[in-house]
A and B are shown apart, each in its own frame.
Chain A
């Protein structure tokens, strides 16, 4: 049975057409041999079920009622189709009319007909050219090897002749490739003469692909985009590119497992070498050494799925992953975020199914994006810009804010609230912390239009509009207004607390007469201040050095002294050392 006949049987099975016993058993055997076909059928069933659910979700809210009636022992009607019956609703009429119109347009569209003719014509031209090229190549090779070469060798001396023959006769593989290419060129012609039905049964990815609109078809997948957003030649995630679904027992060995003597596993200890699958380490610790050199250490209790030699999925628990430099690509996925390309990296990861993930990069760098990504703007680079630690928190039941991501390090803080088009990056840890606290205070709600979500959307949209100009008064006004609307404290009021107890990073900058020092801790701030003032005694009219505080610079008059101090988003200006000292007390109170 060839592929198209098999696909036809699958189609008939899925369409619930009557099948003979022989056909059924043929299909059954084929499915046993081809687990990927089973997977395809299951995928389509899952989509079918979810489409049914979507439709019911949008038009039928009485499931809860029926369910609760059922729980209390009352009888309830089955989920009858409210639209079933002799008379069609106006919506149904509209739907049918739409389909009829689209079908007419598709059939009568002159462009489409022209396109078909054009495609056939070009295929014929391409096939002819290919055949001609093949014939020419064959003729050229034959002429060279059988006619020209013997003539040349005949002219040359007998000694050289032997040597030349062995060197110039093309290897036999050339002959075979020529035959192959000739055969391949004939394929398009055969395709165009196939019966319409046979071609329709082909469920090749390209057939399905054309159903997607251009913008989605052309959008780069995560695999296709490198760190800088450039497209790279990775494979697309289509049906044919997926690995077949293979049971653990059938998988090749991909990792060696070692565990401590006190380790215990759910379902018994795994063998020393495993071919993948789900693992649940209850106690103790275990180490997985993958063939590519990647090492994953798990501390019980932890759960993870090992699906291939170049990726692992962590479900819960604490892990330490070491990915050596020689590994080209390795992906660590969790339900909250994906860690991509962690090459030459050592990273600690904690996964809590309810709380999210926390990561800490101790070596190398990674890219962190949401688990549902494929969208470049979601990601945060860790350990590239001085960010080492990240936390990703889910926000359940919030339609407009689907997650929070926070990354921090010695030199930088980056908070991201929300994902996708509503995502906003906040550079102030205080604002981020305020928003986080505010969100956590909100009762979980599935209502799409709750007040907070609406405010959030407004805030996010406005913030997007002001992106890149976060120092503007409009931005400040917007932040203040939003914080006020949502009963949030002004970030400046909390700076003292932050400064004292270090609940979030203390960071900011001190700029005097154009010389700027950034700081990320109280110690660094003190150091920056000392450098800037160069041990300036109180009340001295001199001003700090122009360049480096350690070097002597050009002294200016006291009236020229001016600067700005910015701590965690709060910025204040000063025009004299005394004014600065007063502000400093205020800022660090």
Chain B
């Protein structure tokens, strides 16, 4: 989607001003500017990309509806992430109210995740993503190949199991271990007290 020439080079305040006056390109540019950070923020809190994307769209929708009410001089980014934080907490609260027996564990997790979200800082999400990239590159070749196949090539665990002559449980277990190793690696880079 090419950017109109007038949008190029505008800073956040100017973009917000244009978006307030109903310029769709300005709003698009604001979405373009912040969608990566916002999705990273949400996916870290809810642990699921499709849910995070839905919430991100809700956040941008809220921005569209309320942009006229944003006071001049208010940091749009901070406002956007505050809305995102509230959306995430609302979602996690809703999830924690589920009543089926299996979801009871989910409700515990959602409650804990909501508690974390209240304390976490939105500015660190991109740092975490960047640390994750570095940590992936530090994995051994077998683990990297597995991550590539599962996440980047979207191959099912059963297919990978068949190709590598292992059972799918072993593949899933390997994935769990890899995620744990990545978590350890990220903490090592960002500080032991860092909460993912």
Contact = CB atoms under 8 A, between A and B. Distances in A.
Interface in A221-274: 221-223, 235-239, 241-242, 245, 247
A100 B190 contact: no
Contact of B27 (A24, A49, A68): A68
A555 interface: no
A95 B193 contact: no
B49 A53 contact: yes
A39 B104 contact: no
Given A65-B1, A245-B112, A45 B163 contact: no
B123 A335 contact: yes
Given A24-B104, A43-B196, A50-B129, A209 B188 contact: no
B40 interface: yes
A99 B146 contact: yes
A47 B179 contact: yes
B139 A14 contact: no
A28 B96 CA distance: 13
A148 interface: no
A95 B109 contact: no
Nearest to B133: A54
Contact of A106 (B118, B124, B142): B142
Contacts of A118: none
A100 B31 CA distance: 41
B192 interface: yes
Given A44-B180, A63-B39, A353-B123, A83 B154 contact: yes
A256 B123 CA distance: 30
Interface of A: 11, 13-15, 19, 21, 24-25, 27-28, 31-32, 35, 38-59, 63-68, 70-72, 79, 81, 83-84, 88-89, 91-92, 95-100, 102-104, 106-107, 200-201, 203, 205, 207-213, 215-216, 219, 221-223, 235-239, 241-242, 245, 247, 277-278, 305, 307-308, 311, 315, 333, 335, 338, 353-354, 371-374, 394, 443-444, 446
B44 interface: yes
Could you tell me the dominant secondary structure of chain A's interface residues? helix
A208 B163 contact: no
B89 interface: no
A44 B149 contact: no
Contacts of A45: 47-48, 109
B53 A79 contact: yes
B183 interface: yes
Interface string B69-101: 000000100100000000000000000000001
A328 to B, nearest CB: 16
A52 B121 contact: no
Contacts, number: 283
Contacts of B23: none
Interface of B: 1, 9, 11-12, 24, 27-28, 31-33, 35-36, 39-40, 43-50, 52-53, 56-57, 60-61, 64, 75, 78, 101-102, 104-105, 108-109, 112-113, 115-116, 118-119, 121, 123-124, 127-129, 131-133, 135-136, 138-143, 145-149, 151-155, 159-160, 163-166, 169-170, 172-173, 176-193, 195-196
B122 to A, nearest CB: 9
A53 B165 contact: no
Nearest to A21: B101
A95 B149 contact: yes
17 contacts: A15-B169, A28-B108, A49-B49, A50-B43, A51-B182, A52-B49, A52-B151, A54-B151, A55-B152, A63-B56, A64-B28, A71-B57, A83-B154, A96-B163, A103-B142, A212-B135, A245-B112
Could you tell me the dominant secondary structure of chain B's interface residues? helix
Contacts of B163: 96-97, 99-100, 103
Contacts of A247: 115
A54 B132 contact: yes
A305 B39 CA distance: 25
A338 B12 CA distance: 29
B49 A67 contact: no
A99 B181 contact: no
A448 to B, nearest CB: 12
A213 B155 contact: no
B145 A371 contact: no
Contact of A64 (B35, B48, B165): B35
B33 A446 contact: yes
A50 B124 CA distance: 13
A212 B185 CA distance: 8
A92 B105 contact: no
A71 B61 contact: yes
Given A53-B43, A98-B145, A15 B172 contact: yes
Contacts of B170: 200
Given A51-B132, A64-B32, A213-B139, A42 B109 contact: yes
Contact of A221 (B116, B178, B179, B192): B192
A237 B49 contact: no
A391 B71 CA distance: 29
